[in-house]
Amino acid sequence: MRMPLILTALIRLPSSCHRQQTAGVPDRRPTVHQHPLAYLIGLEGVALLRCFAGEDDSEATTARLAGVRRLLDAAEELGTGVTGTLITTQEGYRTWASSYDAPGNQLIDIEQPVVHRILDALPPGVAVDAACGTGRHTVHLSGLGHRVIGVDSSPHMLAVAASKLPETDLRLGGLHRLPVASASADLLLCALALTHVPDLHPVFSEFARVLRPGGHLVLSDARSLLEGVGRPMPGRDRAGRFVVMPWFDWRTSDYLAAALPLGFEVRDCQEPLRPNPLVREDGSTVSDPPGPAQHDPLAPPNIWALHAYAPEATNAAYRNRPVAIIWHFQLGHRRRDRRPR
């Protein structure tokens, strides 16, 4: 996902929002240094590991080693990258809210139909869209006949949701303490938000508290190229500083370790793949119009523009890699480890 530049307009908090606890305070190192070569040589490295594993031949190995040399020779043109300050998700989505729904987001284009297929098979009831953002899935849940409660910690994202869904119950609140009564929901959806959470356990506990026994939990998250290695999203804040939001790339076993002790049972787990090839010969993304984005050596690196410097390595590295993970859990009738409220 690409984070846009500066948002200048201040958006009014929807009157239907209930003020609750805030969330998203980063707890990692305070800065992230993103060097274009770290990404590009990383792609070459992943492609080389695939050669080493026997997925590609000796000719491909030679081509990839030559690619590394070419990249090192282009170091001056690529620049030395930028150091971004880690910011909270509230700060980040304040900037992103106005353009979050813009078309052309490959992750969303692939994730959405998978999530909707799961949601479409569930009976209507009370549905909580936790970290609902601009209401992308909230709209769908309403259309399915659910009584929907949307919760998010970003007033700016909620303001966009409120403009689409003026009648919907939207609440300002955090995933760690949802402003929703215990055992009141038949369905809880949390899409593309757990990558921002530093610990899954308290959040899954909260999901289990809010769901009634037998309730459904549907989750989606972005997948990085390497499981467990995040890809924080760079951008600029309103003052022009380079900033990044926290990104935690959870392993499949992390979700299970958080969910199973609470009595959640797995109903489905899908990892839809990225398109293959991911980029054209000129490095532009196959799902975008032809012509690559331009890399700016003085700006936070945009990986979609960097692919033009190593299109073959990009396709080799991302081949058969998932873009998202999508879970469908159901809460068993035996309640365990859940705190009442």
Ligand X SMILES: C[S@@+](CC[C@H](N)C(=O)[O-])C[C@H]1O[C@@H](n2cnc3c(N)ncnc32)[C@H](O)[C@@H]1O
Binding site for ligand X (CB under 6 A): 23-24, 89, 93, 131-133, 136-137, 152-154, 157, 174-175, 191-193, 196-197
CA 60 – CA 52 distance, rounded (Å): 10
Closer residue to ligand X, CB minimum distance, 196 or 328:
196
Least distance in angstroms from the C-beta of 150 to ligand X:
9
Closer residue to ligand X, CB minimum distance, 120 or 281:
120
Closer residue to ligand X, CB minimum distance, 157 or 244:
157
Among candidate residues 72, 79, 47, 15, the one with its CA nearest the CA of residue 305: 79
Least distance in angstroms from the C-beta of 274 to ligand X:
18
Closer residue to ligand X, CB minimum distance, 97 or 331:
97
Among candidate residues 286, 275, 284, the one with its CA nearest the CA of residue 319: 275
Least distance in angstroms from the C-beta of 121 to ligand X:
19
| Token representation of residue 175 | 């995933």
Beta strands in the chain (DSSP E): 31-34, 82-86, 126-130, 147-152, 169-172, 185-191, 211-222, 234-236, 242-244, 264-270, 324-331
Q: How many alpha carbons lie under 13 Å from residue 9 in its C-beta half-sphere?
A: 10
Assess contact for 177 and 206: CB atoms under 8 A.
yes
Assess contact for 203 and 175: CB atoms under 8 A.
yes
Amino acid 256 reads: L
Measured from each CB, the residue nearest to ligand X is 133
Least distance in angstroms from the C-beta of 63 to ligand X:
36
CA 80 – CA 34 distance, rounded (Å): 8
Least distance in angstroms from the C-beta of 177 to ligand X:
9
Least distance in angstroms from the C-beta of 128 to ligand X:
12
Closer residue to ligand X, CB minimum distance, 103 or 289:
103
Closer residue to ligand X, CB minimum distance, 51 or 258:
258
